[in-house]
Amino acid sequence: MKRLPVHSRFSLLLFALTLASAGSPAFAQTPDGPMIPRPDIPIQQAPKRAQTTIKSKVVLVNAPVTVRDSKDQIVTSLAAADFRLTDHGVPQTISHFDVGTDPLSLVVLIETSSRVAPLLPAVQKSGILITETILGQNGEAAIVGFNDTIDKLLPFSKNPDAVESAVAHIQSSTSGSRLYDAMGVGVEMLTGRPPETVPGGCPGEPGAVAALCVGAPSRRLVLLVVSEATDVGSQAKLGEVLRKAQLANVTIYSVGLSTTRALLQQEPKKNHTDISPPGTYPLPPIPGKPPVPEEEDPRLNDTADLMALAVWAVSHIADKVSAHALEVAAVATGGAHFATFKDRTIEKAFDEIGGELHTQYTLGYAPVGTTEDGYHEIKVSLVDARYKNLRIRSRPGYYVAASDD
């Protein structure tokens, strides 16, 4: 086929463009005034700008509150309207109120190191107190033993016989005591419990019949630590564990095992002269007073000092708090510590914990006006002046890091 000359091909292209401009509105001259759309052609809408939707996660904070009178008796006659609660200094609305009836999810951590072996028979007999005194109806418990290793002896169970059997078969092992690692495992187990539906929906989500709320208080999460206050070999830091416990609404109770009592109960050893094992007496005794285990030292049992130490530990997770770990953990989460060195037995400590848990107020709220990162101080007080002689114990607050989701 014979090719056309260049000027002929250019002439044909120019002719085609002329025909296209005559028949296509795209190349027609723009008319004066606005264009009137034809009724049979839908109007094309201008594309909308992409909008970023920020969804705020609904977080419900639990504040366990124990109220006692001047005779140290627990008070259970108060109503939600009697309490005033602030978060970061901002008054909050109490959206959930309960007095000891919310079911429990309980993890029991039991030290099984050789140092506390003489005390384990008393622990082994306490399973029935866990099921009948602490758990109550609809409660569930998991049992974890720890020394150099952390052993999940029983997954969460509502079967009293299974719980009591797991406690009764606990045996001592190596001399290690990975207390902080075990506490971290316990918090993780509790945090991993399936969330439950909340009738009426989550706070801040009107119209929902039932919804899964983050940190819903339909089940209380409790970590019970039965151990001496010594940590040996843990990778976790106490402040890190407590920060996670606070955010997950885990309340920590502790029963302090005394290595001094264990030494007194064990069989005498020949040529044994060291009656003060490492870690038993971290501070010199008060002049004129015999040495006592650290959880019994009256100089370090001031609640205000322990509260300040708990806040410091949570805010400085890179540092390890070695002294009074059990007391600090309890104070930081709204629980309580029970030492067993003097006249309080392990059985009596369990009985006191059960009595408190089933008479304790639970104040739940969805924080508003507190978006700042860092430590959020929780303050609970009573509104009526006639209650001024009542003593309140609750958790001091929680820590929110910038990277927390």
Report the CATH number that the domain containing residue 114 is assigned in CATH. Answer: 3.40.50.410
Structural domain contains residue 384: no
At 168, phi and psi to the nearest 5?
-65, -25
Looking at residue 214, its pLDDT comes to 46
pLDDT of the chain along its 405 residues, tens only? 545 554 454 454 444 444 444 444 444 444 454 455 555 555 455 444 443 333 334 478 999 999 999 999 999 999 999 999 999 999 999 999 999 999 999 999 999 999 899 999 999 999 999 999 999 888 999 999 999 999 999 999 999 999 999 999 999 988 889 999 999 999 999 998 876 555 555 555 544 333 345 444 478 999 999 999 889 889 999 999 999 999 999 999 999 987 655 555 555 444 443 333 444 334 444 444 444 444 444 434 567 788 899 999 999 887 777 768 999 999 999 999 998 876 678 999 999 999 999 999 999 999 998 877 889 999 999 999 899 999 999 999 999 887 654
Displacement of CA 209 from its chain's centroid (Å):
26
Residue 230 in domain = yes
Q: How many CB atoms sit inside 10 A of residue 306's CB?
A: 19
State the residue range of the domain holding 215: 102-263+292-361
Q: d(Cα 23, Cα 4) in Å, to the nearest integer?
A: 27
Residue 42 three-state SS: coil
Residue 297 lies in a domain: yes
pLDDT computed for residue 275 by the predictor: 37
Structurally, the chain folds into a number of domains equal to 1
Nearest Cα neighbor of 247 from 99, 395, 363 is 395
159 lies in some domain = yes
- pTM (two decimals): 0.74
Can you give the pLDDT at residue 199?
Answer: 54
Q: Please, which residues bridge with residue 33 across strands?
A: none
Q: Is residue 367 part of a domain?
A: no
Contacts of 383 (CB under 8 A, 6+ apart): 81, 82, 83, 84
165 in any annotated domain: yes
Whether 152 maps to a domain, the answer reads yes
Q: What is the pLDDT of residue 174?
A: 86
Give the pLDDT confidence score for residue 86 in this predicted structure.
96
Q: What pLDDT, on the 0 to 100 scale, is given for residue 201?
A: 54
Has residue 208 been placed in a domain? yes
User: Could you tell me the strand order of the sheet in which 250-256 lies?
Assistant: 150-157, 140-146, 104-111, 220-227, 250-256, 337-339
- 8 A C-beta contact, residue 113 and residue 177: yes
Task: Check if the beta carbon of residue 366 is closer than 8 Å to that of residue 57.
Answer: no
Instruction: Let me know: does 292 contact 341? Beta carbons within 8 Å.
Output: yes
